[in-house]
Every structure is written in C-alpha cells, then in structure tokens.
Amino acid sequence: MKKIILLSVSILICSLLIVSCSKDNLSNVASYVTKGTWRVTLYQENGISKLYYFSNYDFTFYNSTVTATKNASTITGAFSTKYVDSKNKLVLNFGNTSPFNQLNDDWEILEESAIKIRMQNVSGSSGGTDLLTIEKN
C-alpha cells in the first residue's frame, strides 16, 4: 500500500513539474501593459543613458498597437509578446520613425509587475546590452 501511495505522489509531483515548466508568463506581461499608460524611466545603449529621447511621452498598448504621445504628437507602432529560449519577450516595432526605431527589438523581460517592467536586449553582432524600463503612470 505504501508503494502505491508513494508512486501516486511521485506521478502527481512529476505532472505538476511538467505543467509548470512548460508554462510561460506572457499573459501577465500583455495584461500589465494594456492597462493604463506607461512612461520610459530608463533607456540605455551600452551603458549610456538616452532617456531624453522618450522624456514626457506616454505609451499606450492596445491589442497589438502601441502609441507614444507627447502634447499633440503621436507615434504609432506595434507590439507583441513571445516566449523564446525560455525567455519572455516584449517585441516593439515603430518602423523607421526616429528615435523610436531604437526601441525596435525583442526585449527580454527581466522583471515584471503591474507597475514596472524591466527589460534588456543583447545585440547579436556587437554583444552590447541595451536596457529599457517602463513604469505605469
């Protein structure tokens, strides 16, 4: 009887581990960013702050669209989330609109909550690291 109970418990634990390992948390990221407006609080390219590019812009994420608004100026781009190589990513694409095209990338999510998302992108060719943090307004 003890063997049957031990075997049952072992199977249950293995099943839970398999389910939890295969699950990603992209739904959290998507649900966070689509609630309210966000601002960029950190943007660095290879350790150099370039936050001034995005100062005073409010970012709004809706469906697969992201808009950056400052006064009467609005820049529109696209966003999506994905799970690649065991990493959650926020993908941004503002096309060729400068300086927003610098945000065009697959940003690896380092930390996420309903009020703050920290991300990084490591360039494949140069190996430089860019950092991006957005916080809810």
Q: Is the pLDDT of residue 4 over 60?
A: no
**Mean pLDDT, to the nearest integer, of 114-130?**
88
What pTM value is reported for the model? Answer: 0.79
Please give the share of the chain, as a percent, with pLDDT higher than 70: 78
**What are φ and ψ of residue 134, in 5° steps?**
-120, 145
Please enumerate in sequence order all residues whose Cβ is within 8 A of that of 95, keeping only pairs 6 or more positions apart, or say none. Answer: 77, 101, 104
Residue 1 is predicted with a pLDDT of 54
What DSSP character marks residue 115?
Answer: S
Residue 18 is predicted with a pLDDT of 39
Please state which CATH class domain 24-136 belongs to: mainly beta
In the three-class reduction of DSSP (H, G, I as helix; E, B as strand; rest coil), residue 73 is classed as strand
Q: Is the pLDDT of residue 3 over 60?
A: no
In the three-class reduction of DSSP (H, G, I as helix; E, B as strand; rest coil), residue 35 is classed as coil
Domain ranges of the chain: 24-136
Tens digit of pLDDT for each residue in 73-118?
Answer: 999 999 999 998 889 999 999 999 999 999 999 999 999 999 999 9
